[in-house]
Amino acid sequence: MTNLAIGFTGIGVALVLIMLRFHIGLALGLVSIIGISAILNVNAALGIITAVPYAFVGDWNLSAIPMFLLMGFIASSTGLTTGLFRAMRMLLAFLPGGLAVASVGASAIFAAASGSSIATSAAMARIATPEMLKYGYHPGLASGVIAASGTLGSLIPPSILLLLYGYFAGASVGQLFIAGILPGVLSMLLYSGMIVARCALNPDLAPRIQQKSTKRELVDALKEVWPLPLLILSVLVGIFLGVFTPTQAGAIGAGVAMIIAAVRRELTFATFWSAIKDTLHGTASIFLVIIGTSLLTRFLALSQVPSFLSAQFIALDATPLLFILAIAVIYFLLGMFVDSIGLMLLTLPIILPVALATDMNLIWLGIILVKLLEVGLVTPPVGLNVYVIKSALGDKIDLTVIFRGVTWFIVMDFVALALIVAFPMVALYLPGLMR
């Protein structure tokens, strides 16, 4: 068997193991070790095991991952998001489907503070969905909007997916973070516009709310929201102006979150320790996938699979658009079975060499990949965000109702993708302004 055949066989075996629900980090690591042993020898594989994982996990740039996770867990566990949905509801309730539009805005702001789609979906499902159901909103809309809006945490900075992509692609994480802002806003506007249009045409989806808030109530609600804009600005403005790196921004964001929680007298030892434990658990899980991916990258390089695919793509004289369409199909299919981080890290060793061979802009590509991964978070049968919503709501809404509810939002995601592909400046304009 040739090295190339060993490489393609390893990819197939890895996919089968992942479909069988093996942990993706273990699946990639196991396949890589056996593959390297077959191409070289067992001693070479053992040598790579001892060197490669430490070189990757010990990289200082990856310390931003636990810092951003800690920032998000502190923000959610110490009540920094209290009043967020209430304030957005007061501002937007006058619109057709106003509570759903408010959920989109609240989810986007929460996502910017937490950097986690799952955390955003879980929190907003408990806060916003019962409120919408109380006012007679259709269950599919009330749950679907939260499942879809929660995916904004993958794109709106700080994003763990963008950080990992930047690390493996050798692209500027700071530019990727800033590049995610306008596509994130575009997604918000498309979601909101679709909700307003549907509810205006079919008022039964979301009955109008006659209740009006006083100016005093609005001011009181906005007072509860001030920590989140401060937290977001403390991270993004410094990156945009070049005052500190994304790695430093993670530590600063975590520190600011603790200071704000302490000032509000909501940072207890119990909440702090809970945030620390959740951060350690999340970091360990992500780093295990990173180790598996680093071994896979070495294995595929030895098998020459990336070089072969790059040569084939160039020989076909295919356009970048065709390449993007091929990636979209792969991500749409695999996204039904593989989680976002695992899918991105599984495919990057193959995608990046082709992208580099065709001089594709890596910042633009990163935003497209993350947007595609957002779609995978809500598509059946393994739309992770949908199951998070179901878990948070219990028996209030059937799983099939939630999946039907996200269908309209998936259509809007593809519209957003089409606009980003057709007009790259949607993603590249703000990074171009950075110092």
pLDDT for the residue 186: 94
Mean pLDDT of 409-434: 91
Measured CA to CA, the distance from residue 166 to residue 169 in angstroms comes to 5
- At residue 390, what are phi and psi to the nearest 5 degrees? -60, -45
pLDDT for the residue 193: 94
Q: Which of 22-26, 90-94, 178-182: highest mean pLDDT? A: 178-182
Instruction: Please choose, from the candidates 251, 199, 181, 202, the residue with its C-alpha nearest in 3D space to the C-alpha of residue 95.
Output: 199
Tokens 């060197």 correspond to 51
The predicted model scores a pTM of: 0.83
pLDDT for 382 beyond 70? no
Q: Which of 8-22, 102-116, 190-204, 325-339: highest mean pLDDT? A: 190-204
Banded pLDDT at 210 (limits 50, 70, 90): low
Q: Which of 313-327, 368-382, 419-433: highest mean pLDDT? A: 419-433
Measured CA to CA, the distance from residue 9 to residue 23 in angstroms comes to 19
163 or 214: which leads in pLDDT: 163
pLDDT for 80 beyond 70? no
pLDDT for 250 beyond 90? no
Measured CA to CA, the distance from residue 314 to residue 331 in angstroms comes to 21
Task: Give the pLDDT confidence of 170-208 residue by residue, as tens digits.
Answer: 888 889 989 999 999 999 999 999 999 999 999 888 887
CB-based burial label for 211 (10 Å; 0-12, 13-18, 19+): exposed
Question: Hey, where are the domains in the chain?
Answer: 62-433
pLDDT for the residue 429: 92
- The token pair at 209 is 């709310």
